[in-house]
Every structure is written in C-alpha cells, then in structure tokens.
Amino acid sequence: MIDLIGWDFNVGLMPYTDKWRKHRRLFQQCFRPDAARNYRPIQMTKIHDFLRGLLSRPEDFVALYKTVAAAVIMATMYGYQVEPIEDHFVTLSEEAVKMLSDAALPGAAAVNAFPFFVTFLAGCQVAECRKRTEEMQQVPFDFVKQNMVGKGTSAKSIVSMLLEANQAEGGSYQPEQVIRAVSATAYAAGSDTTVSSIGTFFYAMACIQKFSRRLVHWKAQSEIDNVIGTHRLPEFEDRPSLPYIEALYREVMRWKPVLPWGYFIPKAFKGYDTDESIYPEPGRFNPDRFFTADGSRHTADATVWATIVSVLSAFTIAKAKDEAGNEIDIDPVYSDGSLAIPQPFQFEATADL
C-alpha cells in the first residue's frame, strides 16, 4: 500500500536496505542533537509569532497552532516563510500527510492481500494520493533550487546547505533524490505529530477539573516566575531549570499518544502508557507522576516543549463559558487514521499581563 500511494520515499516506512541506510544517514546528519541546536532561533521566532496570534485572534486557534508546526519545519528545511493562514505549500503537505494517515486505517491495506482492489483505486484515490505526495516532495524543493539559481543564494536552510555541498563536490555529495526525500520525510515526521501534541496540551489544560487545572497552572507559572521572572519569555537554555514544565510535557506525550498504533494484543497485556502499575490512574492528566528527583530529561520534541512553556508563561487556559457564565464541557473527538489529532474545541486563553 505504501508503494501504491507514493510514500516509499519515507525512511520511516522503508525496509532495511542500502537505500534505507543512505537515507537514515543523511537524516541523522541533519537532526543529530548538536545540529538541532542550530534550529532553536527559528523555533522560538515561530512560537513567539504563535503567541501574538493567540492574543490577537484566538478564534483562529486551530489555524494558528497548525501554522506554528508547519512554519518551524518549512523554515528549517527549505528557508520558506509560511503565510499565516492557508499557505499553499503547507496545504499541499497537509493533504499528502492526511492521505497517508487515512491509508493506515484498518482495511486500507487490503490491496496487499487482494491486488485486484487496485483496479478500483487506480485513477482515483491512489492516483490522487501519488500526485499530492509527489507535489509535497517536489514543490518546496524546487522553491529552494529556483532561489539559488535566480538569486545566487537562498535563505539558509538544510536543503540549501545540502545542495551547496553537492555543487562544491560536483554532485557527488548526495543525490538530489535523496535530499528531496529526506526533506519531505522531515516535514511528515514533524508537522502533524507536533500539531497533535500541541492540541492535546490545550485540551488537557482546559478539560481537567477546575481544582486540578488551577493547581497545574499555579505550579507551572510559579516555577516559570521563580526561574525566569516576568521580564522575558522562556528560552531553551531554561529547560534544565524547569522540572515541573518537563514533567507536564512528558504527561502530555503519555496521556494521548500521537501515534496510537497497535498490534494483536495478547491476553492480559496492557500498553506501557496505560499500565496502572507504572502510571496509577492512567486516564487522569497528572504531571506530578513525572515530577521526580531522579527523572531523566526527555528531549523528544523541542518545538512542543517550547510551545508549552511559552504559552504557560503568557496565558492561563480554561474552559470556554456560555452566556450565563457556566463552563462548557469539552469532549473532543480525535481524528481517525494513523495520527491522533484533536478536532476543534472551545476554550479560553487569558493573557497574564
């Protein structure tokens, strides 16, 4: 199925071959810890844009947090600055990733067992998905190449640096096809996963019981005020000094997994993140479960962590209220597919001025 819809370029979906090793080597080169630190200024700039948007137009919340996830990846990979709303490049990529997510639904891979299904799919879903997937890879890649040819330079990005290295070595550094594929893989790996986690953070902050919500906010904001003060926004360098924020971040990642995939479950087996012997009351959002003196630092997603700490330093999140001042209950639906993304829900974000 992956081959049919054109996603066989993605290193995360490849079999273990020489091709996989070549793609993974380049991916690791671009995103190893010391290289990832170079992208922090871009991340913080885009997150601050998100905060300003949340303050001025909270009704556009869904578009805003989708944009911040895409903006970081597009600027890092391609040096491209996305439009605040309905960016063309972002729309192309979102559609391709959505088709991949839908293709991972149970039953979607029936074509693997019954190839004649392709007869029905060819020319419609499969053909459309392949087209979108090809555009997702090619359009932003061509944007970088055209800027390099037309201007002799391009906004510094991972793709531009790789292409420059290729030019310097006469095209022997990396095949363009590999650079293009790894760049698109990075977008697919980092966009909707970030969207899911940020959406879950807002859902958790708004939906938990009022007492617990106030306690979580108080603990988080007190730690931020004590460590950072009120004269600036948090930076990545503050992370080791903010253990409660780290615990809250880890709980967001545990509470509603981004990739709720599974397999045939043996009798009496429990998923690690819902095992009551490890996480008491696993259905309850409780950052304190990770707030331990010997807990190691989780560094899975810097953009999600930075968004969480930045929002908590500037806003208090709560349930929306009706005309009578009563809180509106939240029961958000998560999307079907391989990625669990919360659907739009109402909440209030009050600026802490």
Q: Which residues contact 147 (CB under 8 A, 6 or more apart)?
A: 79, 153, 154, 155, 160
Q: Which residues contact 158 (CB under 8 A, 6 or more apart)?
A: 30, 76, 77, 78, 183, 186
**Residue 284 reports pLDDT greater than 90:** no
**Residue 133 reports pLDDT greater than 90:** no
Domains of the chain by range and CATH?
11-351 (1.10.630.10)
**Residue 114 reports pLDDT greater than 70:** no
- Is the pLDDT higher at 271 or at 195? 195
**Residue 331 reports pLDDT greater than 50:** yes
**29: helix, strand or coil:** helix
| Reported confidence tier of residue 98, pLDDT bands at 50, 70, 90 | confident
**Residue 53 reports pLDDT greater than 60:** yes
Residue with token string 């009496």 = 268
| Reported confidence tier of residue 59, pLDDT bands at 50, 70, 90 | confident
**Residue 346 reports pLDDT greater than 80:** yes
Q: Which two tokens stand for residue 121?
A: 């799919």
Contact yes or no for 101/338 (Cβ under 8 A) = yes
Write the DSSP symbol of residue 237. G
Cα distance between residue 239 and residue 250, in whole Å: 13
Element (H, E) at 36: helix 33-36
**Residue 242 reports pLDDT greater than 90:** yes
**pLDDT for position 272:** 53
Cα distance between residue 237 and residue 260, in whole Å: 31
> How many other β-carbons are positioned within 10 Å of the β-carbon of residue 137?
24
> How many other β-carbons are positioned within 10 Å of the β-carbon of residue 277?
6
**pLDDT for position 103:** 62
| Reported confidence tier of residue 299, pLDDT bands at 50, 70, 90 | very low
Which of the residue ranges 26-35, 42-51, 170-179 has the most confident prediction, judged by mean pLDDT?
42-51
**pLDDT for position 300:** 41
**pLDDT for position 266:** 57
**Residue 214 reports pLDDT greater than 70:** yes
Strand runs labelled E in 199-277: none
- Is the pLDDT higher at 34 or at 108? 34
Contact yes or no for 82/90 (Cβ under 8 A) = yes
Contact yes or no for 200/334 (Cβ under 8 A) = no
**Residue 314 reports pLDDT greater than 90:** yes
Contact yes or no for 177/232 (Cβ under 8 A) = no
| 71: amino acid identity, one letter | A
| Reported confidence tier of residue 149, pLDDT bands at 50, 70, 90 | low
Instruction: Render pLDDT for 157-201 as a digit per residue (tens, 0 to 9).
Output: 999 999 988 888 876 778 899 999 999 988 888 888 898 999 999
Cβ neighbourhood burial of 353 (10 Å; 0-12, 13-18, 19+): exposed
Residue with token string 């479950």 = 265
Q: Which residues contact 37 (CB under 8 A, 6 or more apart)?
A: 236
